[in-house]
Amino acid sequence: MGFLIRLLVTAVALWITTLVVPGISVTGGSTARNALTLVVVAFIFGAVNAVLKPIIKTVGCLFYILTLGLFALVVNALLFLVTDWFAGLFDLPFRVDGFWAAFWGAIVVAVVGWLISLVVPDPSERR
């Protein structure tokens, strides 16, 4: 259940990002196709973050320390671009136009996802 909630929270955060950040778009045509695309992209985004982010954090530990964590913004933008690349492989109508769109998109997804998580808590995180 917690996985589905996180997936939907990420999909909604991606949808809001497509509305707010120029250069990030979903062009599926119908509302149902766009919603399905956002859910699939949210799954890809979660998988990319789950697999690559720990590796990058381990390898780039020195950069995180030297930049006081600001390197994480660059890493998140690059992971957002990797998500766009995977979406292209699956022929999904999700596009990110360049690094700066990915940079701001990753920030918006993180902030919106966090805000939504405050309102809709994950049941698997209860103590």
- The pLDDT value given to residue 94: 93
In the chain the beta strands, taken as DSSP E runs, fall at 24-26, 94-96
Q: Determine the Cα–Cα distance for residues 12 and 113; give it in Å rounded to an integer.
A: 8
pLDDT number for residue 127: 56
54: containing domain: 2-125
Count of domains in the chain? 1
Q: How far is CA 91 from the centre of its chain?
A: 18
Q: For residues 61-82, give the mean pLDDT.
A: 90
| Single-letter amino acid code for the residue at 32 | A
pLDDT for res 124: 66
| Segment 31-39 mean pLDDT | 91
- Residue 102 is predicted with a pLDDT of 95
Q: Tell me the C-alpha distance between 19 and 13, whole Å.
A: 10
Whole-model pTM over 0.85: yes
